[in-house]
Structure formats: C-alpha cells, structure tokens
Amino acid sequence: MIPIAGSAYTYSYTTMGELVAWIIGWDLVLEYAVGAATVAIAWSEYFNKILEYFHLHVPYQWCHSPLEHGMGADAGVHGIMNIPAVGILLILSLLLIRGTQQSAFVNSIIVVTKVAIVLMVIVIGWGFMNPANHTPYIPAATTFTTAQGITHPYGGLMGILGAAGVVFFAFIGFDAVSTAAQEAKNPKRDMPIGILGSLIICTILYVAFSHVLSGVATVNDFRTAGKEASVVFAITKYMTGYAWMAKFVTVAILAGFSSVILVMLYGQSRVFFSMSQDGLVPKVFSDPHPKYKTPWKSNMLFFVFTAAFAAFIPEDIVGEMTSIGTLFAFILVCAGVWILRVRRPDLPRQFKVWALPVVSILGIVVCGAMIYGLGWTNWARLGIWLLIGLVFYFCYGFWRSKLATKS
C-alpha cells in the first residue's frame, strides 16, 4: 500500500507521525545494523571451523571481543578484536554498493545452496534422533548463566519466551523484504508474496531443523563443547558415517550467514535512505553513487558502525540487543496496521490483514511477552538506546525535517 523504502519506519511515519517514526527508525538500527554485527560474529566462528579442515585457524585473540576469554586450549587468552567478522562486513558492504541486482543474484545462489543442505540435515538427521533428548520436551524451569555472566531462564514458560526472544532476529529477513518495496517491479503483488511465502517456508524449516538437532545432540553439547559451530559438532559426534556432511553444513552456514548479513545491511541503508529524504537524518544517507545509484555513503558509514560492534562486543550481548529492537519494531507495526485501518478504511489495499484487531492485538501481546522474557538488562539497553535517539532527534531531526521546514 505504501511502496517506498523504509519498512516499519514508513508505516509508523504514515500512521503515528514523525516522533514515533523517528523512534522506530532509530530502533531499526538495533534490528538491522546490530543484527548484521551479530551474524558476522557467528560467521567468524564457522569461518574458523572451515579453516580447521585445512589445518589453519585464526588465533583466539583475533576472532573474539576483548570481553571474552578462552577455555580449554585457549585458557587464559583474552580476545582483542574479531577480524573475520569485520572482513565479511566489508566485503558485503562493497557488494551492496555495486548494486541491488548483483547482490540479489549472489543472494539467490546462496539461498538455494543453504536450503538444500538444511533439507539434507533434516532428512538424514531424523534417523539419528535420541528420544531421551526430547524427554521431557519442555524441561523444568531453571536458570543458565553464560560465560559472560548473563543469566537466562531455562525451561518452563519463561525459558520458552526467553529463548524465542533471543533468536527472534532470525525473523528480521521477512521485515527486510519490505525495505525493498521501492526497488520492486510490482510491489503491490510482490511484497505480500515475498513476505508471507518466505515466512511459511522458513518457519517450517526452522521448526524441523531445531527439532532434529535437539533430538540428535544434548542441551549441554550446544552449551559447552559445541558452543561455537555447535551444529557441526552435533553432526560430527552423533551422526556416525556422516562426518562428511559436517563440511557441507559449515559451507552452507557460512553462505547462509553471508546472505543474512547482506539483507540486514541492505535493509539498514534503505531505512536511513527514507529517513534522510524526510530530513530526519543528514543528506549523506541518501546520496546516490554516481555510477551504481546506490546509497554508498550510507553503506560505508554503517560498515564502520557494524564493524565496531562485531569487532569488540560479544555475540550474546549484540544478539539480544538485536532481538529486543526487532520485537519493539514489530509491536509498532502491529499497532500501525490497526490504526491505519481505523483512520483510513477507504484506502485501496492490495492485501488486507485478516481479522483485525485480533491479529494486531495478538502480535503486540506475543512480542511484548518475548520482550519480557529477555529480562531487565535488555530492557535497560533498549531504554538507553532510545534515549540517545531522542537526543539526536530533538537536536537535529526536529528542526530539519520536511514537516518542520514546511511549517
């Protein structure tokens, strides 16, 4: 209905005004930019795994943040910076500057490869599941403390909400589809198909893949011995005769993470492109490249920003920041759809959300419940981040936006 770049920012601007739009646009930095940093850190872990096949490795201190310390053979070693994570962010930022068509072509190849290998793991791994690992399917409520001293609920309702919240940034890609609306050939038809089609397929794959893996390996395998590159560890340890598949999975995960980073960096640059055109952030974020016509300055600025997070902050922290930012954005989208339906029922709609306001209310409640499950430390981070954004808004955007200059 609103086929321009900007994702949740655009919806909020249309339905709830400039201030709320700024809040959500600023929040989307957590969703996309910090999300790209999170996945880049995970990419680094699997990159090191694939180097091991060639008897090479990146030293611990050069693939971990200064806030992390080694265990086992790396005991006593502290991280300095995560160089592989910075490297993949740079390569993909340059690819995005080169152009959308080239990026989409590379992404299509990656998607076909990773989906094929995910299906192979599900089919083969099904026969290696141990029923004891699913007994009980929902463990009793306890807590678990990470190496960085972060405590998570485990088992029970709070464990489910907390875990769902932690991995919720896996759903960013469906939101990122909407950031491409301005560059789609037929957005009114393509956007609903792209969002709902990918959502259905990927949710089925997510559920099946996690069901199989949690049946193949124990919880402690993922927490301790297989913490980094845990999927490969589970296949190597338990799926006898299929060690070769671990190498394919490593390649698929590297490819998959690359495509996710690509989508997040793309989405972030397009959100700030829209915000820049509305005057809420400097014009540099919407300056097109003279040859490729992409917002190249924005891409490079966000490369520097994401690289700083990926290089110096642990994965646990940036991952949870990404998820809480995404959940907050989705709450405002649910509210925006409901508000626009009430305020402007006359607008032509190519796709109409079914059963409003029930769907919007359920969306708000479920996302809010997952935010609750992420705990007070993440609420505090979100609050501080939004406070910084409000300072920027009232110092710059409030005075220079299109609405301000018109008045």
Which residues in 42-115 belong to E strands, given as ranges? none
**By percentage, how much of the chain surpasses pLDDT 70?**
95
Residues 109 and 302 sit within 8 Å (Cβ to Cβ): no
Indicate whether 332 belongs to any domain: yes
Query: What confidence score (pLDDT) does residue 4 get?
Result: 66
Q: Is the pLDDT of residue 148 over 60?
A: no
* Tokens 């708000």, located at residue: 364
pTM of the model: 0.80
Nearest one of 130, 392, 172 to 280, comparing CA atoms: 392
Residues 329 and 28 sit within 8 Å (Cβ to Cβ): yes
Span 363-376, pLDDT tens digits: 999 999 999 888 88
Indicate whether 236 belongs to any domain: no
Q: Is the pLDDT of residue 291 over 60?
A: yes
Query: What confidence score (pLDDT) does residue 5 get?
Result: 62
Query: What confidence score (pLDDT) does residue 262 get?
Result: 87
Residues 80 and 62 sit within 8 Å (Cβ to Cβ): yes
Residue 406, token pair as written in the block: 């018109």
Query: What confidence score (pLDDT) does residue 198 get?
Result: 85
Indicate whether 227 belongs to any domain: no
Distance (Å, rounded) from C-alpha 395 to C-alpha 382?
20
Q: Is the pLDDT of residue 195 over 70?
A: yes
Indicate whether 400 belongs to any domain: yes
Confidence of residue 300 (pLDDT cuts 50, 70, 90): very high
Confidence of residue 87 (pLDDT cuts 50, 70, 90): very high
Q: Is the pLDDT of residue 100 over 70?
A: no
Query: What confidence score (pLDDT) does residue 6 get?
Result: 62
Residues 3 and 190 sit within 8 Å (Cβ to Cβ): no
Distance (Å, rounded) from C-alpha 199 to C-alpha 167?
15
Length of the chain: 407
Query: What confidence score (pLDDT) does residue 122 get?
Result: 93
Indicate whether 119 belongs to any domain: no
The domain in which residue 22 lies consists of 8-106+145-196+252-406
**By percentage, how much of the chain surpasses pLDDT 90?**
27
Q: Is the pLDDT of residue 76 over 60?
A: yes
Indicate whether 2 belongs to any domain: no
Distance (Å, rounded) from C-alpha 273 to C-alpha 287?
8
Assign residue 348 the CATH number of its domain.
1.20.1740.10
Q: Is the pLDDT of residue 91 over 90?
A: yes
Indicate whether 278 belongs to any domain: yes
User: Angle, nearest 10°, between helix axes 34-52 and 243-277?
Assistant: 160
Query: What confidence score (pLDDT) does residue 407 get?
Result: 56
Number of independent structural domains in the chain: 1
Indicate whether 257 belongs to any domain: yes
Q: Is the pLDDT of residue 244 over 90?
A: no
